Amino acid sequence: MTLAELLPSIGCSTEPVLEEGLWPDGTSLNDQGLIIGGLPAAQLAARFGTPCQILDEATVRARARAFTTALPRAEVVFAGKSMPCPEVYRWTRQEGLSLDVSSAGELALAKAANVEPGRIIMHGNVKTAEDLKAALEYGVGRIVVDSLDEIAQLGALATHGQEVMIRVTPGVDAHTHAKIATGVEGQKFGFSLASGAALEAILRVVEQPSLKLVGLHCHIGSQVRHVASYEETVRRMVGLIASCGTRIEQLDLGGGFCAPYLQGEAGFDLAGFAHRITGALNYECAVHRVPPPRLLIEPGRSIVANAGVTLYRVCAVKRSTRTFVAVDGGMSDNPRPALYGARYAVRLVGRGGRPEPVTVVGRHCEAGDVLAENVLLPHDVHAGDLLAVPATGAYHHALASNYNQVGRPPVIAVRDGVARPIVRRETEEDLLRRYL
């Protein structure tokens, strides 16, 4: 295989062009290098240090608007776990999106962003008593119940007609990685449709005088590329609605819409999804002679992933049987490659050169601390170089840790040539504050 043939397969380009679809809207290359949100990446790294996560506000807002435009009659709910940050919650709220949270902590961020309680949905396979109490105290609009124990506990805590939805496992294979497949049998989420557990959960909620059943919820996985998987989900969920004997006003199909991470990967077909899902919902409801419920969807990754870029500084290069390029971040700011083999493109900022395949590794004491394997960087890459990794807006800040007691990086919002921290860099003082 020639080098030209190898380039697309390993997610890195040596041409002075950017990989299409991976970077924030408006990102460009000029004589100042890589420009993100109207600012040179080198300038951002010098000002805010590395590693740092850059998040383009205009891209987040544009992706949010794309969903409300494509599905004007649906309720679009931002999956808050994908980028838990009050400022990002404000952006999506201002674009007309509701918000889902899965803990009292995420709810606290929503409160800080002044998200209206009625626009918040709380779900998750385990909600502690503290989570439920926080939701009830704030007046969260809907709570998605995930077990019979939770139904009983919430029924005892609630003092009025708390609106609830029931998480259903529809038994649909989304053809994604096993660790992010949530709609198949045999995993921890929801009530099984096939076993009859979902129907039993509906009856249990109806029996609780303090709860009001308003809808059904499901989620089939993450990085879902095939609209047909959602169509099959609609067919099965409407069948449940028709058989349950009670009015279901809302149907939440969850999110999981794919985002591109490597050159050549396509984004989600949102227009096709909107057309086919609304058609499927109306058809199935007509066949089963039930009123069509209001549709809800929960995009997260597809809104923020490609709005983000992480900047790293090269600390060392080791050449032996392989070339390792070691950077000042790693699995503490991006555990996704270690968790489920996620792959990324990498670009050296500021210059080109004859490319060679390298493995970009992190600073942590784990052999699995690998950020990107077999990516092409200039053969003379050296300590001090700046690397940029696109498609890092989703789940990076959310999953970041303090492994090896390394402080988590800042999140820098950029828009129209202005940069501002929306999450500051974690300091050693922050780390020490928790120790007694």
Whole-angstrom distance, CA of residue 224 vs CA of residue 317: 36
DSSP for 27-89, written as a single string: -EEETTEEEETTEEHHHHHHHH-SSEEEEEHHHHHHHHHHHHHH-TTSEEEEEGGGS--HHHH
Quick check: helix, strand or coil at residue 143?
A: strand
Whole-angstrom distance, CA of residue 144 vs CA of residue 164: 6
Kindly give, in sequence order, each residue whose CB lies less than 8 Å from that of residue 62, ignoring residues fewer than 6 positions away: 25
Whole-angstrom distance, CA of residue 67 vs CA of residue 81: 18
For the chain, the first-to-last Cα distance in angstroms comes to: 58
Q: Bridge-partner residues for 325, per DSSP?
A: 317, 360
Q: Bridge-partner residues for 375, per DSSP?
A: 358
Q: Bridge-partner residues for 387, per DSSP?
A: 312, 348
User: 399: exposed, middle or buried (C-beta count within 10 Å: 0-12, 13-18, 19+)?
Assistant: middle
CA distances from residue 239 to 81, 135, 187, 235 in whole angstroms, order as listed: 30, 31, 22, 6
The encoded tokens of residue 261 equal 């991470």
CA distances from residue 433 to 398, 403, 426 in whole angstroms, order as listed: 21, 16, 11
- For the chain, give the number of residues: 436
What is the chain's Cα-based Rg?
Answer: 23
Catalytic position from the list 52, 218, 285, 365 = 365
- Helix axis angle for 86-94 and 104-112, nearest 10°, is 60
Whole-angstrom distance, CA of residue 257 vs CA of residue 177: 13
Kindly give, in sequence order, each residue whose CB lies less than 8 Å from that of residue 17, ignoring residues fewer than 6 positions away: 29
Give catalytic status of residue 365 as yes or no.
yes
Catalytic sites, residue numbers: 365
